Structure 1
Amino acid sequence: VDSAETSLLNKLIRTSLMESSHCVEILQRDPSSPLFSVKTFEELPLKKELLQGIYSTGYNRPSKIQETALPIMLAYPPQNLIAQSQSGTGKTAAFVLAMLSRVNAAEKYPQCLCLAPTYELALQIGHLIETIGQFCANIKVTYAVRGNRVLQGAALEEQIIIGTPGTMLDWCFKRRVIDIKKINMFVLDEADIMIDSQGLAYQSIRIQRALPESCQMLLFSATFKETVRAFAMQIISNPIVIKLREDELTLSTIKQYFFVCQSREEKYSALCNVYGSITIGQAMIFCQTRRSANWLSVEMSRDGHQVAILTAELTVAQRADVIQRFRDGKEKVLIATNVCARG
């Protein structure tokens, strides 16, 4: 599973916020610029239509990253931001709110660009824009992705364009359907995935360098390793940097045991003994290979267990469906290879 597939799978299965023990660390470039955080969405300069939209998605209050990032993203004059935040922390909803807030609905031309590394991730972002913006009349979104063709020189009326770097580059410079000098917000999501592909990173930089100086720039990454930091600082000028600092986690409630077995039949016998000794509501069982996972699935199903299997040959959408069914309790045993740990 590559990093883009992992990110998409996380977005598909994390339909609610993760409760986080992270602390927000702020690295501020301009010490004269005041920073503050919020505890409710009402404290932000959001139109009532956007408040309706964010509440319709299930948010009751800002997440940790939103508490700090939203006041920066919505500030005037606009401020550039680099934020390190994983999937499930609410960062996508944060920059979606920012884009919808910056759009002038009366103006029928592209005003916000958002880059994602893959077609599927771009669609995920766009669907969230459509959900949060459902009460905002006359704000439209379109997708600069493969298969969505536009005529050269056509006048786009959608204010928000979500897309992949290659197609967005084509729309801006070859087909010239986007007047890049009119863009007031540029969002680059999943930067750590972008730099895994030199092509995507180069295309993103080309787009960014053509933007007006007044354009607000936001960059998000799940990790903040040195290569990501260098890439971010190359394309975002004078940013405020937000990082999530993870506290140490103590897992004192988890007990660990091991059984020495000589064959898979002995392993299965030991597993049956565990099931016969304690009450198990649901269980996840990891196997080293896809072949052993399939064998175990057949054996447990034969013994009457409700079993789901999660291996690499499934598509991302199929994996998300398997995990959701397990989460809903429709299957009691999830047998997986390490694709589950990575995704």
Structure 2
Amino acid sequence: MAGDINANIVPEIPKGYHNWGPDGDKVDLAEQSLLNKLIRRSLVRNRNQVEVLQADPTSPLFSVKTFEELRLQPELLKGVYNMGFNRPSRIQENALPMMLAQPHQNLIAQSQSGTGKTAAFSLAMLSHVNPANKWTQCLCIAPTYELALQIGQVIEQMGKFCPDVELAYAIRGNRMERGIMLKEQIVIGTPGTVLDWCTKYKHIDPKKITLFVLDEADVMIATQGHRDQSIRIYRQLSKNCQMLLFSATFEDSVWKFAEQVIPDPNIIKLKREEETLDTIKQFYVMCRNKEDKFAALCNLYGSLTIAQAMIFCHTRKMAGWLAASLIQEGHQVALLSGEMMVEQRAAAIERFRNGKEKVLVTTNVCSRGIDVEQISLVVNFDLPVDLGGDADNDTYLHRIGRTGRFGRQGFAVSMVDSVHSMDIIKQIETHFKRKIRKLDTNNLEEMEKLMS
């Protein structure tokens, strides 16, 4: 499989949504997605059950347990196994039969990084291509240059044994002479460049596209320009084109956008993670100030057998102070916050995952980011709140969900330093219908009893 990426490409600046979150740290959705792709080199064991809503309820529900059941071309099956996939992941079991069905079916799917989603639609594109036709047949758009390259790498690896299938990257800096039609059957790109190639420069005939993939839809629509460009690309396509849309979240804005561009879809949704709280014991500790919190944290860490711990702070400044204080106490600590480059964050997480540091201090940039089996303790040094000052229940769930993974027992401890923080605890208890028990970190005997 041949790529068409030039050596002198000027990287396109990511246009992801920059937002100062309630934790005081900068959250870039595109960077967060890229971080997930960099750190999840293998499939995570996702506990979420999937819910399948079929466009045609009378159609028999079909899922697969092996790649052989999909009757793939031998070259593709070889590529799949060469990538280390032994059996389909949960999302692949349900999505691949829909993607590969004849006549074709449209799909809206919720899937997070590490679940095999990119491999699934890459396999669909490679299966879809007729190598004898030397024009673009499959088109995939992603929000940034870096995410497009990540997808392209998966396609190149999976299509390693398909020499007649070629791939081009529609990204800024990859220039061609106006009016020259692409011969590559698959094109991966960012919305602005793809739109230009379809309309202004005439490198792609959009009416000949038979499979259109829109990845990272939630990141895409956070940028107004990308949202509008994606819709303009969609309007250029033929009515017979198969449409696949993927998003990590399914907020109302994502649904509204998906309904605009995906007619008569099958839908795959992840059921909520709240059942994961069953394996996590939740506590709160009364404190007066940050020094009191730090003393409680040291008591907690010194009294328990903890494999690894994640500690969440409200701001970069607080995270920096806490990491330095823990290092002074002799702990091996990694610090993660939004001013670090994505590659630096990925390297810090890799060190933590490999056990080189036992404690990871972070802001919300990492609440949804990693799955490490050894995390036995999550500490909310600062409680997560939304812009209105109320409990941010989703962030709380994602934070404490870093522990208690893969069926193991986990512990979550929240530091409470005011009447307002106690109110936040009560809001979280009400929302999740679970009791958060008070913990006295000065009473070793009580602590051991409660946390055993």
The two structures have a TM-score, normalised by structure 2, of 0.71
Distance 1:313 1:178, change over 3 A: same
SS in 2 for 1:325: helix
Identify which range, 80-89 or 297-306, moves more after superposition.
297-306
2:433 counterpart residue number: none
In structure 1, give the amino acid aligned to 2:286: V
2:284 and 2:167 map into 1 onto residues whose CA distance is: 53
SS in 2 for 1:22: coil
1:299 and 1:231 map into 2 onto residues whose CA distance is: 46
Distance 1:291 1:169, change over 3 A: same
2:327 counterpart residue number: 301
Per the TM alignment, residue 342 of structure 1 is displaced from its structure 2 partner at its CA by 5.0
1:72 and 1:188 map into 2 onto residues whose CA distance is: 16
Q: How big is each residue's C-alpha offset from its partner over 1:98-143, in whole Å with a ceiling of 9 and x where there is no partner?
A: 0000112232221110011111211111111111111211222121
Per the TM alignment, residue 292 of structure 1 is displaced from its structure 2 partner at its CA by 2.4
Indicate yes or no: 2:137 matched with 1:111.
Answer: yes
Alignment match of 2:194 (pick from 168, 175, 182)? 168
Give the unaligned 5+ runs of structure 1.
Answer: none
2:364 counterpart residue number: 338
1:291 and 1:224 map into 2 onto residues whose CA distance is: 32
Distance 1:236 1:40, change over 3 A: same
In structure 2, give the amino acid aligned to 1:127: Q
Alignment match of 2:266 (pick from 215, 218, 240)? 240
RMSD between superposed Cα atoms in Å: 2.0
Indicate yes or no: 2:204 matched with 1:184.
Answer: no
Identify which range, 52-61 or 108-117, moves more after superposition.
52-61
Contact 2:331 2:359 in 1 (8 A): yes
Contact 1:21 1:246 in 2 (8 A): no
2:439 counterpart residue number: none
Q: How big is each residue's C-alpha offset from its partner over 1:305-332, in whole Å with a ceiling of 9 and x where there is no partner?
A: 2221001101222212211111111211
Per the TM alignment, residue 273 of structure 1 is displaced from its structure 2 partner at its CA by 2.6
1:140 counterpart residue number: 166
Give the 5 Å matches for 1:40-189.
40-189=66-215
Per the TM alignment, residue 263 of structure 1 is displaced from its structure 2 partner at its CA by 4.1
Distance 1:259 1:162, change over 3 A: same
1:75 and 1:9 map into 2 onto residues whose CA distance is: 32
Per the TM alignment, residue 12 of structure 1 is displaced from its structure 2 partner at its CA by 1.9
In structure 1, give the amino acid aligned to 2:100: L
Per the TM alignment, residue 265 of structure 1 is displaced from its structure 2 partner at its CA by 3.5
Distance 1:26 1:267, change over 3 A: closer
1:232 and 1:245 map into 2 onto residues whose CA distance is: 19
Distance 1:250 1:30, change over 3 A: closer
SS in 1 for 2:301: helix
Contact 1:105 1:137 in 2 (8 A): no
1:311 counterpart residue number: 337
2:230 counterpart residue number: 204
Task: Count residues in correspondence.
Answer: 343
In structure 1, give the amino acid aligned to 2:305: T
Indicate yes or no: 2:311 matched with 1:285.
Answer: yes
Indicate yes or no: 2:349 matched with 1:328.
Answer: no
2:48 counterpart residue number: 22
The two structures have a TM-score, normalised by structure 1, of 0.92
1:32 and 1:252 map into 2 onto residues whose CA distance is: 36
Percent of aligned pairs sharing the same letter: 64
In structure 2, give the amino acid aligned to 1:118: T
In structure 2, give the amino acid aligned to 1:153: G
In structure 2, give the amino acid aligned to 1:57: M
In structure 2, give the amino acid aligned to 1:40: T
Distance 1:243 1:288, change over 3 A: closer
